[in-house]
Structure 1
Amino acid sequence: MRVEHHWWNGDVRLQRRDVYVRTDGTLWEVEAQLGGPEGKSKVQQCPGRASAMILADAWRGPRWRWREL
């Protein structure tokens, strides 16, 4: 899977959050990660790009804090 989008909440401490949208060209998934690579994560499969983007928006919450990497 390749990363299509990656957002980060800008916090380098304990509350770091990342949201990824990935695809292999057919399958789509969204991952929400809390605490960086060593933290907890949740992955949700999506039927297409549009639904993956909607879920990623919902998991990010307020956008003013998020940066796309």
Structure 2
Amino acid sequence: MRVEHHWWNGDVRVARRDVYVRTDGELWEVEAQMGGPQGKSKVQSCPGKTSALILADAWRGPRWHWREI
């Protein structure tokens, strides 16, 4: 799977959050990661790019100032 989009909330401490949208060209998934690489994560499969982007937007939420990497 390749990363199509990656957003980061800008926090380098425990509150760090990352959201990834990945695809292999057919399958799409969104991962929300909390606490950096050693933290918790949740992965959800999506039927297509549009639904993956909608889910990623919902998981980011309005609380943080997100940056696309």
* TM superposition score normalised by structure 1: 0.97
Please name the residue that 2:32 is paired with. 32
Letter in 1 for 2:23: T
Q: Which runs of 5 or more structure 1 residues have no equivalent in the other structure?
A: none
Letter in 2 for 1:51: S
Structure ranking higher in helix proportion: 1
Which is worse superposed, 11-20 or 54-63?
54-63
- 4+ aligned runs moved over 3 Å, structure 1: none
Q: 1:53 to 1:10 in 2, by over 3 A?
A: same
The size of the alignment, in residue pairs, is: 69
Which is worse superposed, 54-63 or 27-36?
54-63
Aligned Cα RMSD in Å? 1.1
Distance (whole Å) between structure 1 residues aligned to residue 33 and residue 40 of structure 2: 6
Determine whether 1:42 maps to 2:42: yes
Please name the residue that 2:53 is paired with. 53
Distance (whole Å) between structure 1 residues aligned to residue 18 and residue 62 of structure 2: 13
Percent identity among equivalent residues?
84
